Amino acid sequence: MSERESMPCDVVIIGGGVAGLAAAIRLKQINEELEVVVLEKGSEIGAHILSGAVVDPKALDELLPEWRDMDCPMAQTPVTENHHWVLSATGKSDLPEFMMPPFMSNEGKYTGSLGNLARWLGEQAEGLGVMVFPGFPASEVLFDDKGAVTGVVTQDMGIAEDGSQKGDYQPGMEIHAKYTLFAEGARGNLTKKMKAKYDLEADCQPQVYGLGIKELWDVDSAKHEPGKVIHTQGWPLSESDTWGGGFIYHQAAGQVAIGFVTSLDYKNPYVSPYQEFQRYKHHPAIAELLEGGKRVAYGARVINEGGWQSVPKLAFPGGALIGCAAGFVNVPRIKGSHTAMKSGMLAAESIAAAVAAGSEHTELMDYDEAVRSSWIADELKLVKNAQPAVAKYGGDIGTVLAGIDMWMRTLKIGLPITMKHHRDYETLERADLHKKIAYPKPDGVLSFDRLTNVAYSYTNHAEDQPVHLKVCDRELQRESELEVFAGPSTRYCPAGVYEWIEEEGQEPKFQINSQNCVHCKTCDIKDPNQNIEWTTPEGGGGPNYPNM
pLDDT tens column, 198-217: 999 999 999 999 999 999 99
Look at residue 509 and give its three-state secondary structure: strand
Interval 379-399: pLDDT, tens:
999 999 989 998 888 878 888
pLDDT of 141 over the 70 cut: yes
Interval 148-163: pLDDT, tens:
999 999 999 999 999 9
Q: What is the pLDDT, as a whole number, of residue 260? A: 97
| b/e 258-286 (16+ beta carbons within 10 angstroms → b) | bbbbbbbbbebbbbbbbbbbbbbbbbeeb
Whether the CB-CB separation of 207 and 311 falls below 8 Å is answered with: no
DSSP category for residue 43: S
User: Which architecture does CATH list for 6-67+115-206+308-382?
Assistant: 3-Layer(bba) Sandwich (3.50)
Whether the CB-CB separation of 270 and 432 falls below 8 Å is answered with: no
pTM: 0.96
DSSP string, 349-374: HHHHHHHHTT--S---HHHHHHHHTS
d(Cα 339, Cα 329) in Å, to the nearest integer?
7
Q: Which value, in Å, is the radius of gyration of the alpha carbons in the chain?
A: 22
Look at residue 102 and give its three-state secondary structure: helix
Q: What is the pLDDT, as a whole number, of residue 415? A: 74
Q: What is the pLDDT, as a whole number, of residue 1? A: 45
**Residue 50, C-beta contacts closer than 8 angstroms, at least 6 positions apart:** 114, 115, 212, 214, 299, 300, 301, 543, 545, 548
**β-sheet bridge partners, residue 12:** 37, 180
> Dihedral of CA 92/98/103/105: which sign?
positive
Interval 274-288: pLDDT, tens:
999 999 999 999 999
Q: What angle do CA 216, 221, 223 make, to 5 degrees?
A: 80
Indicate the average pLDDT of the chain: 95
Q: Which helix (H) or strand (E) holds 196?
A: helix 189-197
